[in-house]
Amino acid sequence: MKALVVNSDSLQLKTDASFLNKYGLSILIANDLILSGKLALEKKPEIILLYLNKDEHETGNILLESLRFFSGLIILTVSKNFTLTGFNPKQFELILLDENSTTVDLVSNLCHKYLEEKAFSGENNETAVTLQVPILIVEDNKLNQLYYCEILNKLNLNYVLSEGFVEALSTLEKENFKLLIVDAVLKDGNGIELIQKLKPDSGIATIVVSGYSQQELTKAFDNFVCDVCLTKPIKEEDFSNAIIKCLGLKKNNNPLKSLIKYDYQEMFSLLKYDETKIKTSLNEFLGILRDSIQLTESCMKSKDYECLRQIFHDMLNLSAYYGANLLFDLVMQFKQLEKESEKEITLLKIEKEQQSVFLFYSELLNKLDESILSLKANNSLI
């Protein structure tokens, strides 16, 4: 079993991790919060020890939200002025510290208790059934990395994550893969060229992810070819189905669905439960979200935030009616921020929430008749 220890103080990092050796755990260490999220998804540790200093509270909350599906134990050690926002991981221990307090004994006891319970119940992550199908993901957007890795973990598939063209090319030369999932546009190259560099007899299936359609990519790139082309934002079910198709796996009878729900009753009521009006409104909202997701990603790279003003204004008008309260609050918060570092962190949250709202209402649009009838019945309108 593995434990991941995260501490930005490199001198203290190994000391903090050393006491776990007595439990026979393989120790992973990280002094960067973003790297720790990537390690947690790739290596699947049993325990995560997370130490936050006073300047890392905001980023720490983003990391915890990305780990909300983590099934092991997370122990967070942080100063007393820390406020936890968003989703809580399943098994979570929060230790609030004074300036000079020590945590070794307390953390050690928590780890001991958790591992003892696991041993008693007969659970062990090392024996989980994981299909040994090597998959390479090439993606430079942190939130997209987390999203793809979550889905692959649900499918019990092994994968390796590369953050750019050069790193992926080197990885492909060293290891054998059955599937390549690559973003069409990378910071240091493009995914189409990466596919073209594959050996003709490699037998690697390819999935291209892009903000552009397959038709647009075919026009833009000579000899463009892939097994599946997915246009962002991608539904979880579409992504999993593409992977299943490329690997020739049997499809699970329980399709993946969005885990987060939004209250659309107010909007449906305002539109008098008229199916035509609701479809028009939903398509308008989804169109704004789609444009906003693409524009947000672009503005994060260029750090030109002024171009977001109009699209965020349009999105605010509808998000409140569609129960996307967190998205509404984040956009309002973003508009008041002045520091660039704070804007970047809030935009990461906005981008993740936009994708969640888009996926939910895309699914709702596909089963609209059933949803309207259900709400009418609940409101005694029929």
pLDDT class for 270, splitting at 50, 70, 90? Answer: confident
Give the mean model confidence (pLDDT) for residues 237-247: 87
Higher local confidence (pLDDT), 304 or 90: 304
- Is there a contact between 1 and 27 (Cβ–Cβ < 8 Å)? no
Show the tokens assigned to 283: 């398509």
Half-sphere CA count of 298, side-chain side, radius 13 A: 11
In Å, how far are 5, 25, 277, 294, 352 from 45, measured between CA atoms?
10, 9, 48, 33, 24
Structural domains for the chain? 2-126 (3.40.50.2300), 131-247 (3.40.50.2300), 265-378 (no CATH)
User: CA 297 to CA 255: how far, in whole Å?
Assistant: 28
Show the tokens assigned to 16: 């903090």
Average pLDDT of the residues of the chain: 75
pTM metric for this prediction? 0.41
Give the mean model confidence (pLDDT) for residues 225-234: 87
Backbone angles phi, psi at 95, to 5 degrees: -115, 115
pLDDT class for 14, splitting at 50, 70, 90? Answer: low
Question: Bridge-partner residues for 6, per DSSP?
Answer: 30, 50
For the chain, counts of helices (H) and of strands (E): 15, 12
Check whether 120 has a pLDDT greater than 60.
Answer: no
- What pLDDT sits at residue 379? 54
- What pLDDT sits at residue 83? 76
Give the mean model confidence (pLDDT) for residues 90-96: 67
Give the mean model confidence (pLDDT) for residues 215-235: 85
Check whether 127 has a pLDDT greater than 50.
Answer: no
The neighbour count for residue 3, using CB atoms within 10 Å, is: 23
- Is there a contact between 157 and 135 (Cβ–Cβ < 8 Å)? yes
